[in-house]
Amino acid sequence: MRAILVAGGIALIVTLLGTRLAIALLARRGYGQLIRDDGPTSHHTKRGTPTMGGTVIIVATLVGYFLAKLATMRAPSASALLVLFLFAGLGAVGFLDDFIKIFRQRSLGLRSKAKLAGQTLVAGTFALLALQYPDDRGQRPASPFISFIRDINWLHLSAALLVIWVLLLIAGMSNAVNLTDGLDGLATGASMMVFGAYTLVGIWQFNQSCVVAPGAKCYEVRDPLDLAVVAAALTGACFGFLWWNASPAKIFMGDTGSLSLGGALAGLGIMTRTELLLLLLGGLFVIITASVILQVGFFKATKGKRLFRMAPLQHHFELLGWAEVTIVIRFWIISGLCVATGLGLFYAEWVAGG
């Protein structure tokens, strides 16, 4: 358990101090955010705010995790390393996207096909590796079953279908966080809550694992405690970054941060066998993504009419006149309710199971 505290604490300190240095460095080099002309006009005041702050989150998480392993003299697990690979790999795709936006002065960054190709390469590698590395009990990092709170035994997938399922989950969650990252602190705060939830899930799964406490209610998860360490490092990194990213934001995470955080959420959901529960824990991300899908579908079906004034959903409320801080806090409340409901179901299943 000490590793969880060390990882979260170090990641928090690194982002608190490192983000301040990053703001000064990025501002001096002129690495500022570009604002799309078709977005809310109030966002034009944010033009030039340093971006690519997600780099600090990635560095802080990696430093927090590996120093925690060093402090406890424990070797990293395959599950944790794979989640960190997915996290950093999608962060690299996002970094390239941010880099193009800044240096080519093109607000859309990477072309959609190139961005999708990068995400698919990283996610596909993760999916294939997650089916390897069995432990002494034959448990692999990823399961061939679709899961809710545990594996759903009648939803067994072939290796090919499993890779496709993992690709869809990772692409969906990484893009969902990316869509949510439109207001100061919104995606950072919501992500922090979900990572905090996964810290608790990992601790509980370890305490009730089939290795520690075999029985009808035990969890068949390969490395639950080490996944909790990763989640704690991510929670601490987001917490420290939020200090500087809260309104008025001194720095934005950019696609570097949003794609990497979304990938980490998907990775934790896959490794802890809680893939469908992730859709509830990350309910805010799902709602915001659904608003974009509904907007596009309604626009095409009605030949030009709009369901919302603007999508994603947070911009709809901006155009209704809501203050940015009000939207962020109310959306955080929604995120908190989703996390609380998800954790409640997770615990209730254990109480009622057996």
SS3 205: helix
CB 182 within 8 A of CB 292: no
Confidence band of 44 (pLDDT split at 50, 70, 90)? very low
pLDDT, averaged across the chain? 90
pLDDT digits 0-9 by tens, 272-319: 999 999 999 999 999 999 999 999 998 998 888 899 899 899 999 999
In three-state secondary structure terms, 293 is helix
- Cβ-based neighbours of 213, under 8 Å, separated by 6 or more: 207
C-alpha distance from residue 350 to each of 149, 167, 204, 283 (Å): 9, 29, 10, 22
3-state secondary structure of 280: helix
CA nearest neighbour of 306 among 315, 317, 319, 297:
297
**pLDDT above 70: percentage of residues in the chain:** 92
What pLDDT band is residue 58 in, cutting at 50, 70 and 90? very high
Q: What is the pLDDT of residues 83-108, one digit of tens each?
A: 999 999 999 999 998 888 777 665 56
As given in the structure block, the two tokens for residue 213 are 């406490």
Please state which of the ranges 111-115, 186-190, 219-223, 346-350 shows the lowest mean pLDDT. 111-115
H-helix segments, the chain: 2-29, 54-72, 78-103, 112-130, 159-180, 186-207, 224-245, 254-271, 275-281, 283-301, 313-319, 324-352
Report, as an integer, the average pLDDT of 168-180: 95
Evaluate whether 50 touches 23 at the Cβ level (below 8 Å).
yes
pLDDT the model gives residue 218: 87
- Is residue 156 helix, strand or coil? strand
What pLDDT does residue 216 have?
A: 74
Of 254, 290, 314, nearest to 107 by C-alpha is: 254
Strand 151-156 and strand 145-147: the pairing is antiparallel
Look at 43-57, 59-73, 91-105 and tell me which has the smallest mean pLDDT. 43-57
Matching residue, tokens 């990882």: 7
**What is the mean predicted confidence (pLDDT) over 181-210?**
95
Which three-class secondary structure state does DSSP give residue 154? strand
This prediction has a pTM of: 0.94
pLDDT, tens digit (0-9, with 9 covering 90-100), for 211-226: 877 877 889 999 999 9
Q: What is the pLDDT of residue 182?
A: 84
pLDDT at 51: 84
pLDDT at 69 over 80: yes
From CA 228, how far away is CA 224, in angstroms rounded?
6
Please write the tens of the pLDDT for every residue from 248-270. Answer: 989 999 999 999 999 999 999 99
**For position 48, what pLDDT does the model report?**
62
Tell me how far apart the alpha carbons of residues 51 and 30 are, in angstroms, rounded to a whole number: 10
**Residue 30 pLDDT > 90, yes or no?**
no
Whole-angstrom distance, CA of residue 227 vs CA of residue 84? 10
Structural contact between residues 119 and 169, judged by C-beta atoms closer than 8 angstroms = no
Q: In the numeric block, which tokens belong to residue 102?
A: 């800044």
- Beta-carbon contacts of 107 under 8 Å, excluding residues fewer than 6 positions away, are 34, 35, 36, 37, 101
Residue 167 confidence (pLDDT) above 60: yes
Q: CA–CA distance from 329 to each of 288, 303, 323, 326 (Å)?
A: 15, 35, 10, 5
CA distance 199 to 183: 26
CA distance 332 to 283: 11
Q: Is the separation of the CB atoms in 151 and 268 below 8 Å?
A: no
Cβ–Cβ under 8 Å, residues 149 and 345: yes
Residue type, 191: S
Q: Which of 168, 166, 233 is nearest to 198 (CA)?
A: 233
Distances in Å between the Cα of 129 and the Cα atoms of 126, 133, 188 are 5, 8, 28
